[in-house]
Amino acid sequence: MMLATVPLAGCTRTHDGSIVPVYQTKVVRTGALPRVAIARTPTEPGPRVAERIFPAQPARAEPPPRRQIARTQRRPAARPAAAQPSPRVALACREETGTTGRVRVVCH
């Protein structure tokens, strides 16, 4: 069965630019046993498909003329005063050993 479909392999481009196989296979039941049917993939849109997806655009009206707006003077944005850095205080740190033998750093 696989060898029968090898010559049918190939791709084609549809009306909307997508790529599809040239032939489509489907299982059809005619009578008691199902069979495999091979049909060519349609590449052209149906007559109503394009109208439903892309409706006709209404006629464009002329845009209203642009009004000239007088430019106003802009003041630069006020900048907040720079925060004064806090004076640096020297830290006094030392190591302390606890009862369990753990060492920790203590700063004052």
pLDDT surpasses 60 at 71: yes
**pLDDT-based confidence at 96, cuts 50/70/90?**
very high
| pLDDT, tens digit, 9 for 90 and up, residues 16-53 | 788 888 888 888 887 888 888 888 877 776 666 666 77
The answer to whether 21 and 39 have CB atoms below 8 angstroms apart is no
Cβ neighbour number for residue 107 with a 10 Å cutoff: 7
* φ/ψ (deg, to 5) at 39: -130, 145
Query: Residue 12: its pLDDT value, please?
Result: 80
Dist. CA 33–CA 16, nearest whole Å = 37
Dist. CA 16–CA 24, nearest whole Å = 18
List the chain domain ranges: 2-42
Spell out the residues 6+ positions from residue 106 whose beta carbon is closer than 8 angstroms to its own: 93, 94, 95, 96
